[in-house]
Structure 1
Amino acid sequence: MERYRDIGLKLTPQRLAILEFLDGNTSHPSAEDIYNAVKEKFPTMSFATVYNTLETLRKRGLLLELNIDPERKRYDPNIEPHHHMICLRCKKVVDVHFEFDIKIPAEQLKDFHLLGNHIEFYGICPDCR
């Protein structure tokens, strides 16, 4: 939690509960998922508190926002480079830690400053088959 203090994030009990929920979470939850999980401990907490906390973390580079589900944004606390496999039926997202050797033609990169990449694989997970 020290890294959050270091960036000037005010650590209220509600924010701590959100951060604890996200810590090590690999389910790629939506804001609604986080809100529903944390409101059990803080029933008076608003959805806006969750959303604003997620936006603050995203803007400061401590949380990835995934736009892989057109119906709702998902979040990934793992900010290290990785890719995703996405089930088209249940929308489950699984991390893929694998380096891909993609050869982009030099002509296409000539005037482009490449900062990163993200690959999404779509299919049907074992639970949905």
Structure 2
Amino acid sequence: MDIAQKLRSEGFKVTPQRIAIYQVLYGQNEHPTAEMIYQSLRNEHPTMSLATVYKTMEIFEKIGLVKVLDIGDECSRYDWDTHNHPHLRCTVCNRVDDLDGMEMEDMFHEVEMLSQYKVTGQQITFEGVCPDCQRKDAH
């Protein structure tokens, strides 16, 4: 996806900060917080503020470039992969991973049939202990 083209087509300015923020997100599976994004960019962009990251993430959510996740660790996480998919959160280290391979459309259909709602999205997060924390605990 051409981020600059998407921003322009939605009426937003293309700035080096917005491009850099999207580049930090795109293709990675960390599901970072705004603070994590800010910390990773502050050396390259010393004039960027945490407020800039938050405002950019609001814009990205509005135009469909990110999905905001509320996974129970008291801060929003951001996912560049906006298709409907569940997540896993480690209750020890707060790592968040995608859970791919589950057919969500069947679940949507079943929820609609049971509830008479029209499902437009979901946020499903499973909790557990990640493989890294399991190995640490075994030692």
TM-score of the pair, normalised by structure 1: 0.88
The yes-or-no answer on 1:88 pairing with 2:91 is yes
Q: Which has the higher helix share?
A: 2
Structure 2 residue ranges without an equivalent (≥5):
135-139
SS where residue 52 of structure 1 aligns? helix
Instruction: State how far apart, in whole Å, the 2-side matches of 1:107 and 1:12 are.
Output: 46
Moved more, 61-70 or 78-87: 61-70
Offset, 1:61: 2.0
Would the aligned equivalents of 2:30 and 2:96 in 1 still touch at CA under 8 Å? yes
Which deviations, in whole Å up to 9, do the C-alpha atoms of 1:1-59 show, x marking residues without a partner?
Answer: 22222222211111111111112121000000000011110112111111100011112
Count of residue pairs the alignment pairs up: 127
The yes-or-no answer on 1:65 pairing with 2:68 is yes
SS where residue 84 of structure 2 aligns? coil
* AA at the equivalent of 2:125: E
* AA at the equivalent of 1:120: T
SS where residue 128 of structure 1 aligns? helix
Instruction: State how far apart, in whole Å, the 1-side matches of 2:87 and 2:21 are.
Output: 23
SS where residue 14 of structure 1 aligns? helix
> Which residue is 1:99 aligned to?
103
RMSD between aligned residues: 1.7
TM-score of the pair, normalised by structure 2: 0.82
Structure 1 residue ranges without an equivalent (≥5):
none
Instruction: State how far apart, in whole Å, the 2-side matches of 1:67 and 1:29 are.
Output: 12
